[in-house]
Amino acid sequence: MEAGEAAAGDSRNESESSGMIKVNIKFAGRSIPVEISLDSTVKNLKSILQPLTNVLPRGQKLIFKGKVLVDDMTLRSSEITNGSKIMLMATQGLHQGDGPIKKEHPDAENMRRRRNEILRGSKEKKEVSVEKSQLERWKATGVIALSECNLKGIPEEVWICGPSARLLDLSHNSIEEVPDGIGCLSSIQKLLLNANNISDRSISWEGLASLKSLTILSLNLNCLSMLPSALGALTSLRQLHIENNQLTCLPTEIGLLMNLKILKANNNRMDKIPASIGGCISLAEVDLSSNLLVELPDSFEKCKDLKALYLSNNGLRSLPSTLFKMCIQLSILDLHGTEVTMDLLRQFEGWDDFDNRRRLKHQKQLEFRVTSSAEFDEGADKS
């Protein structure tokens, strides 16, 4: 045996004798190194791989030397040693977040940039020119419609409208900054800023927090990674749309939004929801799908008006134990692509009443032809 091979063997033996080993997981063109105890189970390994791959444990099939590894067996009993290579195969649809984390194509960044351009509708458009007649119309109607105008900044004429503005739509532009001046629109009720280039540092939350009449705030498809405590000052807010950002959490102060009815925060990177969400007692519809949530706070039971809850493609393993019992208006629940299956759901207290409500709602939709399909969606995966 050569010196190099001997050294490698000594290192492998030393790692195994300490009970810890390093294995390499082959997945989607990637090699993922994992350090783990030999006495850990295959199920433990899958839990470690969940945040590294976005694939749910029940969607993982681990293969070693041509054999599928069994969840309850330890790595030691599976004859896995230090340096072993294990293949991971993922079941389609069983993932958290926006999908499995794969090796990126060299042109992935350019493809993302191109996609954002298309979403913002910025192709071959001329920047808007605000004429006096248009400004007067804004003042008279209170409606400032500037979506898809290839704007890089908010026109000064917008601020001239002041308290007369009721709705400002700046969606699908290339706006990077929302300045303090937004606060002069003191009577604005609807602010739509979807599909721009707004980041954490480029939006004046102090200015936004002064908009006491604001009922709808929409910031979908931007570059936000956090929401500040100032959000709690928007106590008139009824709808908050923050889909398709990079948000990792919600501020504790969200619990101050007692009038909030609709919260759409899907397709972000949130791994937890603050317990203060229970303060949003008017919530009727919540969409948290395609995030990284493992659990929901028990305080969700305080949302007595909750009717629809969308949680698909998260790492959820359970639900608040009293959700069905306390949220007696809940009739829509989507848990597809999570660890919560139908067998688990049926064990919750209040399940039968919830099941009756959603079946009755489905039947009414059929009778009034709201839906064209008679197929009933169970709301979660069967296994």
pTM above 0.85, yes or no: no
Q: What does the alpha-carbon distance between residue 102 and residue 15 come to, in Å, rounded to a whole number? A: 29
Q: Which H helix or E strand runs over 241?
A: strand 239-241
pLDDT along the chain (383 residues), means of 10: 50 63 92 93 93 91 92 93 93 88 59 50 51 88 95 94 96 96 96 96 94 97 96 97 96 97 97 96 97 95 96 95 95 95 93 92 77 73 83
> DSSP label at 243?
-
pLDDT at 371: 63
pLDDT at 108: 47
Structure tokens at 92: 């389609």
pLDDT at 10: 54
CB 194 within 8 A of CB 216: no
How many CB atoms sit inside 10 A of residue 32's CB?
17
Q: What does the alpha-carbon distance between residue 340 and residue 318 come to, in Å, rounded to a whole number? A: 6
Phi, then psi, of 143 in degrees rounded to 5: -110, 115
At 45 the three-state DSSP class reads: helix
Domain residue ranges of the chain, discontinuous segments joined by + = 3-90
- DSSP letters, 138-161, are HHHH-EEE-TTS--SS--HHHHHH
pLDDT at 23: 94
pLDDT at 376: 75
Phi, then psi, of 96 in degrees rounded to 5: -100, 165
Q: What does the alpha-carbon distance between residue 76 and residue 302 come to, in Å, rounded to a whole number? A: 46
CATH number of the domain located at residue range(s) 3-90 in this protein: 3.10.20.90
Q: Which residues pair with 244 in a beta bridge?
A: none
Phi, then psi, of 192 in degrees rounded to 5: -115, 115
pLDDT at 284: 98
